[in-house]
């Protein structure tokens, strides 16, 4: 078996999508979640992750997806994924392409905000009407 290089691992990781951004095609590399790759003397590939939040619900899916994709593309390799909980993730870690995919233009945001404000106002009006109705019937 040919020795796997760190460059090959990074290349494969660029095709492993961050679960919360898969719909936008953002990989764990572009999201800045993949922190480091090392290959020890026994050939075990170690991938260290920096999670976007301390309560990341997707850590287990990444711990499965990364070894699966590495084995799919690199063959029978031994992989250990380590989730780092101490180092904070910040948006500075985003690749420019990820930042662009996560940015929504203001003209797309305004209708969403207006709909949310209208729904909140409607719910408030309905709650007030129900309160008044309950006072009248008491």
Long-range Cβ contacts of 56-61 (<8 Å, 24+ apart): 56/83, 58/18, 58/19, 58/20, 59/83, 61/19
The one-digit pLDDT tens for each residue of the chain (138 residues) are: 568 999 999 999 999 998 888 888 899 999 999 999 999 999 999 999 998 877 777 888 899 999 999 999 999 999 999 998 788 888 999 999 999 888 877 677 677 778 888 888 887 887 777 777 777 665
The neighbour count for residue 34, using CB atoms within 10 Å, is: 24
The residues spanned by each domain of the chain are: 6-103, 104-138
**Is residue 75 within 8 Å of residue 1, measured between CB atoms?**
yes
In angstroms and rounded to an integer, the radius of gyration of the C-alpha atoms of the chain is 23
Architecture of domain 6-103: 2-Layer Sandwich (3.30)
pTM above 0.75? no
């Amino acid at each position: 078996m040919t020795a796997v290089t760190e460059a090959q691992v990074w290349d494969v990781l660029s095709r492993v999508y961050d679960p919360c951004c898969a719909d936008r095609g953002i990989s764990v590399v572009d999201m800045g979640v993949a922190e480091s790759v090392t290959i020890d003397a026994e050939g075990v590939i170690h991938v260290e992750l920096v999670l976007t939040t301390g309560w990341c619900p997707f850590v287990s899916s990444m711990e499965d997806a990364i070894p699966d994709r590495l084995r799919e593309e690199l063959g029978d390799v031994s992989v250990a994924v380590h989730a780092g909980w101490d180092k904070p993730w910040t948006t500075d870690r985003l690749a420019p392409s990820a930042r662009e995919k996560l940015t929504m233009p203001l003209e797309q945001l305004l209708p969403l905000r207006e709909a949310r404000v209208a729904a909140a106002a409607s719910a408030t009006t309905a709650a007030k009407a129900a309160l008044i109705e309950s006072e009248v019937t008491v």
